[in-house]
Amino acid sequence: AWLQNKMEPVKNTPSFDKQIKKNILKKLIAAESFEHFIHSKFVGHKRFSLEGSETLIPVLDMILTEAAEHNIKEVVLGMAHRGRLNVLVNIIGKSYESIFGEFEDIRDPNSIAGSGDVKYHLGATGNYRTIAGKSITVSVAANPSHLEWVNPVVEGMVRAKQTRLGDNKSHVKVMSLLIHGDAAFAGQGVVAETLNLSQLSGYRTGGTIHIIVNNQIGFTTTPDEARSSQYATDVAKMIQAPIFHVNGDDPEAALWVAQLAFEYRQIFKKDVVIDLFGYRKHGHNEGDEPGFTQPILYAKIKDHPSVREIY
């Protein structure tokens, strides 16, 4: 009933003002420019680029803006490799210098044992300033290559932070946000395990927003060969979580969904899933050529304008 009342009167068509629209474009330009610079400056370096799913950045901006308005003190992010560097720069506020320094293999000589981990495993914490001028703490958990293993780690971090703030009953001060790849969300059992704990009093964190950065491909595997379910998100049906499928080439629709998802989480204190459909501009990482395994798909992607151009 709540969803009907939100979606049907406006026919699921958002009306954003000029300021928000300009902000969307600004975030898309920042996301795309960052990727383009690295692509031309550090040729062939692995970075798990966000190109094809840049809409993630304005979506995160919207969720953090809403969270700050609702006096949430901190958002803890867990995510896959894809787009991590972009999120670190454009959302966490990690400096360009330190990111490019890592590409040049410049490490802090004073750190114990060096920070020898690869760029797209590292975590960070920063303060995000919203369009309304508010500030919110946002952190990305460090995680190695075991993709979805970071999910229960983030939930544990959030629950611990809530306990420390005396917030482990109301869950209004700290929020978890998990970003997944489509193949990993459908393919890794730890996703189902984490969802299964989400409503138990010993583990609940007051609802997690899940965002699937849906490239419609897992390394070289197409969806029809990767899973038996229709959607990558079908595993979330087991806890009756609402799932919003949205076109990543339509940033305003994606922001509308982000608002709905956040509001749902606030009211019902349950998990909610955004399935952000996009594509992957380059290979699984920038060291492989996707045209060998998916020639038809990648011929289409080559001719497809970026979301910034479309917008």
Alpha-helical runs (H) found in the chain: 2-7, 18-41, 56-69, 84-87, 96-103, 150-164, 182-187, 189-197, 251-268, 295-303, 307-310
CB-CB neighbours of 205 under 10 Å = 25
Tokens of residue 177, six digits: 């946000």
To which H or E segment does residue 128 belong? strand 124-129
Write out pLDDT tens, residues 190-213. 999 999 999 999 999 999 999 999
Write out pLDDT tens, residues 67-124. 999 999 999 999 988 999 999 999 999 999 888 888 887 666 666 555 556 777 888 9
Q: What is the pLDDT of residue 108?
A: 63
Q: What is the pLDDT of residue 143?
A: 84
Tell me if 48 sits within 8 A of 83, measured CB to CB. Answer: yes
Query: Which pLDDT band, with edges at 50, 70 and 90, does 46 fall under?
Result: confident
pLDDT at 160 over 60: yes
User: Across-strand partners of 76?
Assistant: 139, 176
Q: What is the pLDDT of residue 111?
A: 61
By C-alpha distance, which of 180, 244, 187 is closest to 215? 180
